[in-house]
Amino acid sequence: MNQRSPSRDAIRADGLTRIYGNDTPALLETSFTVGAGEIFGYLGPNGAGKSTTIKILTTLAKPDCGTAQIMGIDVVQDPQAIRRIIGVVAQRSGSDPAATGRENLTLQGQLHKLNPRSLDRRVSELLDRFELSDAADRLVKTYSGGMSRKLDIAMGLIHQPAVLFLDEPTTGLDPESRRQMWRDVASLARDEGVTVFLTTHYLEEADHLADRIAIIDRGQIVVEGSPDQLKAELDGDAIHVEMTSEASAIAAQELLSGIDGFGEIQVENRTLHARVSNGRSSIPAVFSALDSAELSVAAVTLSRPSLDDVYLRYAGRSFQAGATVQAEQEES
């Protein structure tokens, strides 16, 4: 993780609002800042507003209300200037599979009107930096998923932008490719001073990479801070009790609410979530209380505070449940 203290804001968003034609708010008065040289994690399930925010910040959409600046430049008033100082890596690859890696990078540099001589040097530098030199003259359609994503990031960096937008950069990658991508992204901020705006729905990714995160749910930021800071705000342990039915989970909620040491009790389908002051001593108490009430328990898990627990506190549901709700809304 990048430990530098940003000296100024690279990105500033104030009251961004975007309403779709069916009066559904994709963003609602969303405000945040991103420091120069910082990795900023924008965390939320699919449909929460992450992509809409990126579209506004990268000049692909205009807000209905609010303003946004990148390096002090207004994204609506001067979009051409914005495009010269940002790099964008979208969820879907922007490379041409029928061209080689070198050809893709060269074309991207030509679109940015880079000097031919300096472009050749920059292409070679990026191929080497992302360990693609040996595959530089192979067609991209022969690349692995991890190699393709490395090429996408290299294309986003061809013109040496001050700010790089990464929209779900590791979706679909295997675990080893994902970890390699984390190392590459971390080094961009640490070694090259690039400001990284990272959207992801992988909690572990945000926890590992980001200096600060903002959790967005239903178009609104519900909490913001460093991963460690947000987890530290949750006292005690998290306990999750899976019951045999939703009705028994509700009954268990009422029962456990009367036991000292249990707090923030919530029910999701058949699972009860709670925070407890002492996890080890709480598990026997859970089994004893539920057994006395003849309520059957399917499973009990105990964990230290995680970003999923942070999400549960501020969004009122687990991260996975949020993703399910958003997917259902998109299909309806």
pLDDT-based confidence at residue 37 (cuts at 50, 70, 90):
very high
**Residue 260 pLDDT:** 80
pTM of structure: 0.79
Q: Hey, how many other C-beta atoms are within 10 angstroms of the C-beta on 115?
A: 10
CA angle 219, 36, 117 (to 5 degrees): 110
Q: What pLDDT, in 10s, does the model give residues 164-191?
A: 999 989 988 888 999 999 999 999 999 8
Nearest by Cα to 212 from 193, 225, 200: 225
For domain 9-226, give the CATH number.
3.40.50.300
Judged on CB neighbours under 10 Å (0-12, 13-18, 19+), 60 is: middle
Q: Which CATH superfamily is domain 235-304 in?
A: Protein-tyrosine phosphatase receptor IA-2 ectodomain (3.30.70.2470)
Beta bridge partners of 150: none
Q: For the chain, what is the mean pLDDT?
A: 88
Task: Give the total residue count for the chain.
Answer: 332
169 vs 90, 198, 201, 280, CA distance in Å?
Answer: 7, 8, 10, 38
Domain spans of the chain, in order of start? 9-226, 235-304
Q: What pLDDT, in 10s, does the model give residues 188-206?
A: 999 889 999 999 878 889 9
**Residue 317 pLDDT:** 64
Is pLDDT above 70 for 4?
A: no
